[in-house]
Structure 1
Amino acid sequence: MKLNQSYLIELPKIFDDRGNLSFLEGSNHIPFEIARTYWIYDVPGGEIRGAHAFKQQEEIIIALSGSFDIVLNDGKSEQVYSLNRSYKALYVPKMIWRSMQNFSTNAVALVAASTSFNVDDYIRDFDEFCKIKNDGVRI
């Protein structure tokens, strides 16, 4: 997968004087059925989350509260997305290295994933990831 296969998704917004509402639906707003959701919160200042790639898992990442940056790398180039609106989601395909950084105070990141947790799906070494991506090493 290449970086240009990652993209921002504008989720529906329902405006109301009492407060706004947004939502997402698997296979409607996102290109996969959701198998798992998790959220990241209470990230201490300066910490980086993620720093891995998935062999099979695709993800949608949303800043439910606050803001943070997502740095994506396909083994050759890098792109940074700043998420700070709860109606914007970032689609990250499989085999893209991702890290999350610059979390604001009280930031909450919601992740919807295409697979259930599988420790064997992770690539946690960036050099190994680059070998797989650039040298055609089979996974």
Structure 2
Amino acid sequence: MKYPAPHLISFLQLTDATGTLVTTQDENNLPFEVKRVFWVYGTPVGKVRGGHAHRTTQEVLTVVNGSVRVETQHAEGQQVFELTTPTQGLYIPPLCWIKVQPSEGAVICCLTSTLYDEADYIRQYEEFLQLLN
């Protein structure tokens, strides 16, 4: 199966006098059925997360608070994304190496197409490059 390159997805934003709710509402905004949700916070300033790819897992990453810079590398090349609003998510396909640099106080939420499986992770960059070829 061929997956699209990493790209931004806009989420539905509903605002009234009580505040703003951001939702995917249904799977129309997501390219997969969500199997797992996790969030990351408390990353020390200057630390880089990620440094891996997945064999089959698709992800949508969004920032709930703060901002995050995401460097991606995939079969079509390299891209850099700056996530600064919870109304956007970044689609990350399988076989896409990522480096994630959160701002101070950032809270990142990630939706995935699979349950956690360590065997799905590619943690060695050299192995990732071999799989791309």
Matched positions, count: 132
Partner of 2:51: 51
Superposed CA RMSD: 1.5
Partner deviation per Cα, 1:64-122 (whole Å, 9 max, x = no partner): 11001011001563111000100101111111111101x22210000000000000000
**What stretches of structure 2 of length at least 5 have no aligned partner?**
none
Partner of 2:120: 121
Distance 1:25 1:121, change over 3 A: farther
Q: What is the CA-CA distance between 1:18 and the residue it aligns to?
A: 2.3
Check if 1:95 corresponds to 2:98: no
TM score, norm. by length of structure 2: 0.93
Between the aligned partners of 2:70 and 2:85, the Cα distance in structure 1 is: 14
Kindly provide the amino acid, as one letter, of the partner of residue 99 in structure 1. Answer: K
After superposing on structure 2, the runs of 4+ consecutive aligned residues of structure 1 that deviate more than 4 Å are: none
Larger strand proportion of the pair: 2
Kindly provide the amino acid, as one letter, of the partner of residue 72 in structure 1. Answer: T
**What stretches of structure 1 of length at least 5 have no aligned partner?**
135-139
Alpha carbons 2:12, 2:22 under 8 Å: kept: yes
Alpha carbons 1:67, 1:104 under 8 Å: kept: yes
TM score, norm. by length of structure 1: 0.89
Kindly provide the amino acid, as one letter, of the partner of residue 105 in structure 1. Answer: E
Partner of 1:28: 28
